[in-house]
Structure 1
Amino acid sequence: MKITCQRESLTAAFALAASIAPTRSPKEILQNVKVTASGDRITLTATDLDVGIRLDLEEGVEVETEGTALLPVQRTMAILRESNDETLTIETDDAGIRITGSRSKFRLPGSNPDEFPSVTEFNEDKFHVLPTRLFREMVRRTVFATDAESSRYALGGVLLEMEGTSVIAIGTDGRRLAKMEGTGEPQGGHQTTGTSTIVPTRAIQLMERAVSDKDDTVDVAARANDLLIRTPRAVIYSRLVEGRYPNWRQVFPKRDSAEQIDMAVGPLFAALRQAAIVTDHESRGIDFTFGDGTLKLEASTADIGESQIELPIPYDAETITLTMDHRYVADFCKVLDNETNFIMEIESSSKPALLTTDDGFSYVIMPMARDR
């Protein structure tokens, strides 16, 4: 194999593929990225046996001799990042791999590419076509609420429900729940079944990274034990989390007497950051008191001090105080633009708060019990 590549485009593609390769593994061969040169492109493949990627690169690539090679992740990544050369030539021979620039030469040992595990291709005739923006928002607005450290393994991933044109993503750690919904186009009658299409948190984050803003759509196929996504330049697969997801629909409040308050992300987030100055790891609760046209945020920690921040809001009903973990409210604000408006629905100090936007995002926060 002999290829010449623009260093910057190769570095970006290699970094994405390398993010899937394990840094440590009893199978040392997995600590490589496989490069296949064919026609006018190269294909980078990497896997940790649970997640895998196939990434095509055409831009800035010249294939002089077709073939395959295994590039060790750590050393190759260091060469690509530290090099000042605009283009690099990668060539294999019996002694290993040579990476050559205009003023640099490196030789790395080579392993047998035939021993590298195969990475699943996207050959499905049943899948959903999702707008790229929706897919990225579904991941961003749910993955933060998952719980990778929970003993309930199902909570360590994002649940995907796709039926007809309805597409829903759910993330929860048992104390808060994030839901993002939108519409997609089913192909071949594709749909998920039950509550078992749970994509591990790390895997779905990598999938979101692989999707480019230049892509209009992304294809998503759920199978019995794994999930595949396809973009014009990449295919990523992931094994699904074993287990059943909780009945998330039971968590969403269904009430007729709740108060609904129009709010904006920016002012709330600013007030929240101020109130949280006197909190610590042990004392994370902030009292949210709604009443007399004002939201009052109060925090108190014995060794640090107290805070009280007021924010004008359109609310003049009965005073309600709700204690919430400030981190959970901040997470909601972080995935939205400051200008975004949302509805905060509250009922009492013991009932969860429901935050919703008009573009399909809903977020439930369970209240905290805190002694004053």
Structure 2
Amino acid sequence: MKITCQRDTLANAFALAASIAPTRSPKEILQNVKITAAGSKLTLSATDQEVGIRLDVTEGVEIDTEGTALLPVQRTGAIFRESSDEKITIETDESGIRISGSRSKFRLPGSNPDEFPTVREFDQEKYHQLSTRQFREMLRRTAFATDSESSRYALGGVLLEMEENSVIAVGTDGRRLARMEGTGEPVGGHQTNGMTTIVPTRAIALIEKALSEKDDSVEVSSQGNDLLIRTPRAVISSRLVEGRYPNWRQVLPQRENAVQIDVTVGPLFAALRQAAIVTDIDSRGVDFTFADGTLKLEASTADLGESQIELPIAYDGESITLTMDHRYLADFCKVMDGESTFVMEIESSKSPALLSTDDGYAYVIMPMARDR
């Protein structure tokens, strides 16, 4: 094999593929990225045998000799990052791999590419086609609420429900829950199987990186124990998390007497950061008091002091105080635009807060008990 490619293009693609290669594994061959040169494109493949990616590179590629090679992740990545050459040439022979530029030359040992595990291609006839922008936003607004360290393994991923034109993503760690609804076009009658299509957060992170703003749509297919994603340049495969997801619909409050308050994200986030200055890991609760056209945020920690921040709001009803973990509200603010608005629905100090937007996003925060 002999290829020449623009260094920046190849380095970016290699970094994405290499991000899922395990740093430590009893199977050392997995610590490589497989590169295949055929026709007019390069295909980079990587897997940890749970998540896999096939990434096509066509821009700035010159293929002199077709072939396949395994590039060791750590040293090849370092070469691409540190090199200042505009173009990189990769050539293989019986002695190994040669990587060279106009001012640099490296030789690395080579492994047998035939021993590398097969990374799945997207050959599904049933799938949902979604807007790339919408799908990325759905993942971004739900993945942060999952709990990868929970003993309840099903909470370590995002639930995807796809049926007819409806697509729903849900993430929860048992103390807060994020849900976003969207739309998609089913192909071949594709639909998911109830509460079992749980995509691990590690795969979600890779999918988010692989989704390009240049792509109009993405195809998503759930088949058996696997999820497959296809974009114009990449195919991502992932084993689904074993287990059954909790009934998230029971968590979303359905209340008739709750108070609904319009809030702008930016000012709330600024007030929250100020109030949280005197909190620590053992004292994370912030009191939110709604009364007399003002939202008062108060925090107190014995060793750190007290804070009291006021924010004007459109509410003149009876006083309601709700204690919440400031981190959970901050996470919500981080995935929202600062100028956007949402509705905060509250009922009492013992009831969860429901934050919702007009684009199908809902976020539930369970209240904290706090002794004064």
How high is the TM-score relative to the length of structure 1? Answer: 1.00
Matches of 1:167 and 1:139, distance apart in 2: 12
Structure 1 portions without partners, runs of 5+: none
Aligned to 2:155: 155
1:148, CA displacement in angstroms?
Answer: 0.4
Matches of 2:295 and 2:59, distance apart in 1: 53
Matches of 2:192 and 2:82, distance apart in 1: 45
Alignment pair present for 1:321 and 2:321: yes
Matches of 1:289 and 1:133, distance apart in 2: 36
Q: How does 1:280-295 map to 2 (within 5 A)?
A: 280-295=280-295
Structure 2 residue matching 1:145: 3-state secondary structure: coil
Aligned to 2:213: 213
Alignment pair present for 1:183 and 2:183: yes
Structure 2 residue matching 1:214: 3-state secondary structure: coil
Structure 2 residue matching 1:336: 3-state secondary structure: coil
Divergent runs of 4+, >4 A:
none
Structure 1 residue matching 2:144: 3-state secondary structure: helix
Q: How does 1:38-187 map to 2 (within 5 A)?
A: 38-187=38-187
Matches of 2:170 and 2:223, distance apart in 1: 18
Q: Residue 220 of structure 1 aligns to which amino acid in structure 2?
A: V
Aligned to 1:16: 16
1:51, CA displacement in angstroms?
Answer: 0.2
Q: Residue 202 of structure 1 aligns to which amino acid in structure 2?
A: R
1:302, CA displacement in angstroms?
Answer: 0.1
Deviations 1:200-233 (A, max 9, x none): 0011110111010000000000011010000000
Q: Residue 68 of structure 1 aligns to which amino acid in structure 2?
A: T
Aligned residues: 372
1:187, CA displacement in angstroms?
Answer: 0.3
How high is the TM-score relative to the length of structure 2? Answer: 1.00
Alignment pair present for 1:312 and 2:312: yes
Deviations 1:305-349 (A, max 9, x none): 000000000000110000000000000000001001000000000
Matches of 1:223 and 1:289, distance apart in 2: 48
* CA RMSD across the alignment: 0.4
Identity percentage over the alignment? Answer: 78
Matches of 2:68 and 2:87, distance apart in 1: 19
Q: Residue 225 of structure 1 aligns to which amino acid in structure 2?
A: N
1:194, CA displacement in angstroms?
Answer: 1.2
Matches of 1:223 and 1:170, distance apart in 2: 19
Q: How does 1:258-277 map to 2 (within 5 A)?
A: 258-277=258-277
Matches of 1:364 and 1:349, distance apart in 2: 14
1:76, CA displacement in angstroms?
Answer: 0.2
